[in-house]
Structure 1
Amino acid sequence: MTQCNFFDINTYDYELPPELIAQKPAQPRDRCRLLAVRRADGELFHQRFHDILQWLRPGDVLVRNDTRVMAARVEGVKVNGSAHVEVLLLRPEDDGEKCWEALVRPGRKLPEGARVRLDGDVVVTIGAVKSEDGVRRVIFPADCDVRALAEANGSMPLPPYIHERSSRPEDYQTVYAKDPRSAAAPTAGLHFTRDLLRKVADCGVTIADITLEVGLGTFRPVKTEDIRRHHMHAERCLVSQDAYDKIVMAKKNGGRVVALGTTVVRTLEGMAATSAGLHPGMLETDLFIYPGFEYKVVDALITNFHLPKSTLMMLVAAFAGYDLTMKAYAEAVKERYRFFSFGDAMMIV
């Protein structure tokens, strides 16, 4: 066991050659590479994603995040000026969805009260800075359907490390995505095709859908040397009665809960960490998982390879163990796996 400080941000660093950052998805999706990681003995297996079937068992429940990515990046021009403005919608503040949390560029040139005419000829008011991340309040007119405006005039908010723009918008959506309520994709699910999901079900594996509206919390960088001082941005999630029943049934019958992605982990473990334990319903979760965390629900994890020093890497290290996680990442770099959103996958069992 490595003797290191698990609370030191530098503990989660690793060297990644820039050319290993995937710029477009594998075609077909399930032909990407899969690094299977077996916790029991630390063995690593190099496969293709469609080989995931051999790691699933009858009676397991595969839990996936069915959220869809919004066309959340909307552009405009400052009223009574010429400055180009970009608004990245994160989440509504209120049930009426007229006030939104958003990232605004150029933020320094837009004081509180500034007005911006967005594409679609809608004028919004830029509110105060809400957090150290630069999140702003953006106020829309009372008669504006914000989601319809974004779908009609916005664009897909691809991560900044993706410079290649030849991929299609649907490449950044899972094949089972439903309501457009996220600012980023639950990327572990991008590897599944409809045919592969049918084969999963044919193997006797139940599929359950939960929803976490992916926002800033999932991807916000850790800026503190001591990770315990980092605060996660809250994200809204929902566990339906149907998903809850499937999870309980799998556990009761000796099956495993297989989380398809870190957003599923945050949802299930966030709900389980409440005083009521895992239950159906809505939750605002700011759960931060790092080594020392005790998992209560998730038994296996399918995930991508994440950025150095990221909360997602810490979550994986908490599940697989730090040493095994770093061993797997070193092996992936050595074997030239593709990293991040459009990259290859790991399954940890």
Structure 2
Amino acid sequence: MKVIIDGEVRTLKAAWYEDGEVKLIDQRELPDKIKIFSAKNSDDIAYAIKNMVVRGAPAIGVTAAYGLAMASKNGEDMNKAKEKIRATRPTAYDLFKAIRYMEVNGYDMNAARRYAMEIEGRSKKIGELGNELIRNGAKILTHCNAGALAVLDWGTALSPMRIAHNEGKNIFVFVDETRPRLQGAKLTAWELAQEGIDHAIIADNAAGFYMRRKEIDLVIVGADRIASNGDFANKIGTYEKAVLAKVNGIPFYVAAPGSTFDFSIRSGDEIPIEERDENEVLEINGIRIGPNESHSKNPAFDVTPNEYVTGFITEYGIFKPNELNKLKDLMDKDLFMNIK
């Protein structure tokens, strides 16, 4: 991804392996500063995933792949390392896909690098296909962060926007702030600013206002797990945006690689939903905003039923929810994805 540091344009990835360590852009520090987190063992990898140093389903998967290869090189007990990493984030399916990929390939570092390159290349393809949905002058709403930070480069939901911008299309992006961790305001807006893409951060509750005024042409979001019927889990608040889009006649697209589709489950009812620390809701940047006597509930994701999805933008093409059997057939023929 393009990153401007001290006025100089550089290229960084969300995760990489270097000098015996897994390097991660510490997303907790953005947009204030770019800080690199170095993971030296599986404990560090588990910490980084659990505590949101790295986040976004594809990036979590890549980090797990690198982490298991590093653990193997370090002579760790692989069963313990694997289970430690597996227990970090229950909703993101890419995590479990990556672990299985590394099991099949013997925790080899070259396999981890290939996994990373595949995910990155597939995210670019998502952008190329999704770009066809974006007309010049389009106004797009997105929720949370499904950009390069959530993959390695390009992103999922942001990948079509990047390519549309690179082709000279004049687009505008409405960026939901995405409480409670403000991943839209802090991360998506930062990525768009680095690319020079015109955008505005809006309060989560403002999306309906702009939809009703016909100021939003389409919605593109990412996903953390997609069931075989097209129900999908994404950052909390996504379901509301999908319902609003349906009511207002606005196309609603989900951008995700094949690694995010879990064809072993029939519907969103089977997707485990992570419940995170209540202080994420009660505090902003460490400052408490609720009464000391109050508690909160903090589901990290919600499930959007397939009836609200216009289509899934994947590296294989764009599919309606009732066409996912075609996607599964393509994935079954893809040696990279077809890991049993």
More strand by share: 1
Bigger relative contact order, structure 1 or 2 (CA pairs below 8 A, ≥6 apart): 1
More helix by share: 2
Q: Normalized against structure 2, the TM-score is what? A: 0.32
Q: Normalized against structure 1, the TM-score is what? A: 0.32
